[in-house]
Structure formats: C-alpha cells, structure tokens
C-alpha cells in the first residue's frame, strides 16, 4: 500500500495566503471549533441521551478519534495547500494512489453546506435573543413564561427567517473579504470573553442549590440507558464540536506555516473546545433541575434555561445581551469555517473571485436554510425519517457525513500516505508520532466503523447470519 515516496515536504504555497502566526492559526481553529456545538448542542444532546454515559462516550471519542483525525486533517491540509477537494486529489496521486480521493473532499464541501444551512438558523435565534435580552424580556420571568417566549419566537417564521438572512449576510461579508482580516481579531477577543461569562454563569449555577444534581446528571454514567444510537450521537457530536470530518480544518491547515507543531496546536484546540462544552453543561443542567425543566427538552434547551438565570440576576438584561452577542460571535467564527471548503473550492475550481464565491455559496446555503427556518413552525408537522427537515439535516451531517469523512481522512493519513510524508509533517517519528499513527490507522477507523454498523444494526445482522 505504501509506495516509498520521498518524504521531504514539497514546498507549495497556498493561493489564499497564510496565517500570520502560530497563535493566529490556533485562534482560527478554536474559533471554528467553539460555537453553537458547545453551548447550544452539547447540553441538549447530552440531555436527550441520558447524561453521564453519553458524556463519557463523548470524551472517549474526542481523545481516541477526534484528536488523531484533527492532526490528520491539519497535516493533509498543510501538505496539499489547496482546497480540500484538490488537496485530496493531489496527495492521493502523489502517494501513488488514486485521484479519486477528491470525492472525500467533495463530500466535505457538501457536508459544510448542509450544516451551515441549519446552523445559520440557530445562530439567527441567538441574534433574536440579543434583542429580547436588551429589551428586558426576561426580567423576573418564570420558566413557563420564558418557555412560551421561545415557542412564540421560533413559531414565527418571518422573524426567524429574517434573523437567518441577517446571519448569512454577515457571514458572506466576512468570507468575501478573506479570512485573515477581521476574523483573527474577532476570535482573539471573543473566546476569552465567552469563557469569562460562562465562568460567571457557573458561579450562578453553583449557588442555585442544584449544582450537585447537575454534576450527577453529567458524570454518573448509567450504561444501561446507553443505546448504540446514543453512542453514534456522541461520536457525531465529537466530530461536530471539533469541526472535523468535512475538510474545514484541512482548509485551515493549508494556510499554516511550515514550522508550527501540529500536535501542539491540536492539543490546545481540543482541550479548549472540550472544556467549554463541559462548562456549558455544568451551567445548564443545574438550572434545568432547579426549575423543574426537562433535560431532554431538545434544541430549545439553552434558550429556555439561560434567560431564566439572567432574568433573576441584577443587571441580568445587560449580561444576557452580552452573552447572546458572544454566542452569535462564536457561531459567526464557526460559520466562516463551515463555508471555507466550499468557497476555496469554488475559487480554485470555477475560477471565481472570493467575493463571487462567497455570494454563490452563501446564497445557496441561505436558500437551503429556509427548510430549517420552517421546521419549527409552518412545516413542523412535515416529518420523515428522523423528523423535520432540520432534524434530518442534522442527523445526516453529524451522525453520518462527518464520521464517514473522518473515517476516510484517518485511512488516508494512516494508510495511504507513506510514513515518511506524515512523519515529516508531524516533526519526526518519535513516540507521539507512533501513538498518532496507531490511533489513525486502527483505533479511529475501527471505532467509527464499529459504531456505524452497531447503530444501523448491521453488525448484529451479520453476526446473526454467521451463527
């Protein structure tokens, strides 16, 4: 399988410029990783899947699968220095394999488009909640009132559609200008500020009298409740939260300076992302229990719990406004990453300017997103397979396309690329390299396949046939 290719890095340069420093890269990847996935999605998915056992499986997936796949994406990206489609094709051929690996890149482009279409709708909700917070809608309101406000809000397709349009507009604007300007600055300020506010909220949860209940829910595993579907959800969430499996990190890796340590950068990003997700859970679940809410509430969970806490604080309207602004920022820096593979590909493949590409890609995503806008109101009864249009887009991307993309990326870095090439990118064949290679070659691919086959019941079917 390995064709003794020369391992010294071919010196290529990216057509889209480079990150100004190692820190800029870490900030950009952190900005893409930290987003609605951590604060909106992680708590509600954990809640729907019973808490503790889900969280443990999630953490195992992050370390055993997420970490090696992240390193793989960055090293592939940096070696190819093109958009993910072209990079996979180029490296596939260079390593003496097939150019058809480009289809993995193409699948990533599609996954990014599908994710952003509904991600923008939820990001739009946070924009709406900025306005609600600033106008004091939550002051002293009860859980019932806040729940009703959420229902009324998402029930109005005109407002939600407007917020979705606004969010896609600002995302297109940044992507059109290029990644370096603006984005770096936003992340530099946004991630620390968000962290501070979350810590302040943690103080509130600690004093809610239900911190113990929240802690117990999140960390006491009841493996009897864990189904293979929840394991799949945990694995999907690990990919989603770390922005993996769709070439986004590969695209960012293409702009990474030669000398930066990929292992170091990956560790920093994975740690930050996981810390913020756990923190979000520790803030939200005590509030859920203190107010008699249901942890399995679903996508509205954050919007039903946090305003409640803010509504009872002095200066709550102020902090609530800041919080939703920061969350919108976090979503914004992620949205940019979600668009990057499609935009870089459109620029290189169809010879478009960055602005044209941003408008074409962004406009299509906006249109696709209307399905998710309507999933919570007009079309809420229109369900098939996994539920509404929103539910299906989410399931298809998080639980299928991202893990599948991750599977191929791990196989590519672990088996298709020769040892010389990967060791060259990862700074030599030391113990860390060996560990990475073991995880990328065996643990990640087998783990992903196993969970897939278990979740769709195929494995049991095959075992049944054999017996």
Residues in contact with ligand TRP by the rule CB under 6 A: 32-33, 35-38, 115, 240-241, 243, 246, 248, 334, 337-338
What is the C-alpha separation between 192 and 183, in angstroms, rounded?
Answer: 15
Is 146 or 280 the residue whose CB approaches ligand TRP more closely? 280
Rounded Cα distance, 437 and 418, in Å:
11
Q: What is 278-329 written as a DSSP string?
A: HHHHHHHHHHHHHTT--TT--TTHHHHHHHHHHHTSTTHHHHHHHHHHHHHH
Pick between residue 175 and residue 451 the one whose CB is nearest to ligand TRP. Answer: 175
> In the complex, what is the shortest distance from the CB of residue 240 to ligand TRP, in angstroms, rounded to a whole number?
5
**Residues 6 or more apart whose Cβ sits within 8 Å of residue 247:** 73, 77, 84, 85, 104, 105, 108, 109, 112, 341, 405
- Which residue of this chain has its Cβ atom nearest to ligand TRP in the complex? 37
What string of DSSP letters covers 216-277? HHHH---GGG--HHHHHHHHHHHHHHTT-SSSHHHHHHTT--TTS-HHHHHHHHHHHHHHHH
Pick the closest to residue 329 from 318, 321, 339 (CA basis): 321
Q: Between 109 and 411, name the residue whose CB sits nearer to ligand TRP.
A: 109
d(CA 339, CA 354): 12
Minimum Å gap between C-beta 246 and ligand TRP is 6
Closest approach of Cβ 65 to ligand TRP, in Å? 15
Tell me the closest approach of the beta carbon of residue 129 to ligand TRP, in angstroms: 16
Q: Which is nearer to ligand TRP, 273 or 424 (CB)?
A: 273
**Within 62-134, where are the H helices?**
67-80, 84-94, 102-134
Structure tokens at 148: 């009703």
User: In the complex, what is the shortest distance from the CB of residue 45 to ligand TRP, in angstroms, rounded to a whole number?
Assistant: 11
CB nearer to ligand TRP: give 115 or 143.
115
Minimum distance from CB of 39 to ligand TRP (Å)? 8
CB of 141 to ligand TRP, least distance (A): 27
Nearer to ligand TRP, 65 or 143 (CB): 65
Helices (H) and strands (E) in the chain, counts: 23, 0
């Amino acid at each position: 399988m390995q064709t003794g290719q020369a391992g010294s890095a071919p010196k290529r340069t990216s057509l889209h410029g480079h990150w100004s420093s190692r820190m800029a890269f870490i900030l950009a990847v952190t900005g893409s990783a930290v987003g609605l996935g951590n604060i909106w999605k992680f708590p509600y998915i954990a809640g729907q899947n019973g808490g503790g056992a889900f969280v443990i499986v999630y953490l195992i997936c992050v370390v055993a699968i997420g970490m090696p796949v992240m390193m793989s994406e960055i090293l592939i990206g940096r070696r190819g220095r093109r958009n993910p489609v072209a990079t996979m094709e180029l490296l596939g051929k260079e390593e003496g394999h097939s150019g058809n690996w480009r289809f993995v890149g193409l699948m990533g482009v599609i996954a990014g488009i599908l994710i952003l279409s509904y991600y923008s709708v939820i990001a739009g909700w946070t924009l709406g909640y900025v306005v609600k917070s600033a106008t004091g809608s939550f002051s002293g309101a009860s859980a019932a009132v806040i729940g009703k406000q959420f229902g009324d809000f998402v029930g109005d397709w005109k407002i939600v559609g407007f917020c979705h349009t606004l969010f896609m507009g600002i995302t297109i604007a940044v992507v059109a200008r290029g990644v370096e300007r603006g984005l770096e600055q936003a992340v530099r300020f946004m991630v620390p500020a968000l962290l501070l506010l979350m810590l302040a909220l943690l103080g509130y949860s600690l004093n809610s009298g239900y911190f113990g209940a929240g802690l117990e829910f999140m960390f006491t595993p009841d493996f009897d409740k864990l189904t293979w579907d929840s394991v799949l959800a945990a694995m999907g969430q690990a990919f989603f939260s770390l922005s993996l499996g769709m070439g986004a990190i590969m695209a960012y890796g293409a702009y990474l300076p030669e000398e930066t340590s990929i292992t170091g950068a990956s560790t920093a990003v994975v740690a930050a992302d996981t810390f913020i997700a756990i923190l979000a859970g520790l803030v939200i679940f005590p509030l859920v229990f203190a107010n008699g809410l249901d942890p399995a509430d679903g996508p509205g969970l954050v919007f039903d719990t946090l305003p409640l806490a803010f509504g009872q604080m002095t200066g709550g309207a102020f902090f609530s406004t800041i919080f939703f602004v920061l969350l919108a920022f976090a979503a914004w820096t992620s949205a940019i990453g979600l668009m990057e593979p499609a935009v870089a590909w459109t620029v290189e493949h169809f010879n478009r300017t960055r602005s044209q590409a941003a408008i074409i890609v962004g406009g299509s995503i906006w249109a696709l997103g209307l399905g998710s806008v309507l999933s919570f109101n007009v079309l809420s009864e229109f369900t098939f397979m996994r539920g509404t249009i929103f539910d299906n887009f989410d399931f298809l991307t998080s639980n299928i396309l991202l893990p599948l993309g991750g599977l191929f990326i791990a196989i590519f870095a672990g088996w298709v690329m020769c040892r010389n090439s990967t060791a060259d990118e990862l700074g030599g064949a030391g113990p860390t390299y060996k560990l990475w290679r073991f995880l990328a070659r065996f643990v990640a691919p087998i783990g992903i396949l196993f969970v897939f086959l278990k979740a769709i019941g195929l494995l049991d079917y095959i075992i049944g046939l054999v017996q």
